[in-house]
Amino acid sequence: MVDVSAKEVTRRRAVARAFVRMSAATAAAVAAGDAPKGDVLGVARIAGIQAAKQTGALIPLCHPLGLDHVDVRAELADGGVAIEAEASVEGRTGVEMEAMVAASVAALTIYDMVKGIERGVAIESVELVAKSGGRSGDWQRGAQ
The residues assigned a catalytic role are 112
CA distance linking residue 127 with residue 100, whole number of Å: 7
Residue 63: closest CA among 87, 47, 81: 87
Q: For CA atoms 104, 110, 115, 118, give the dihedral sign.
A: negative
Residues ≥6 apart with Cβ < 8 Å to 57: 64
Contact criterion met (CB below 8 Å) for 109 and 38: no
Q: Which residue stretches of the chain are H helix? A: 24-32, 40-53, 55-58, 96-114
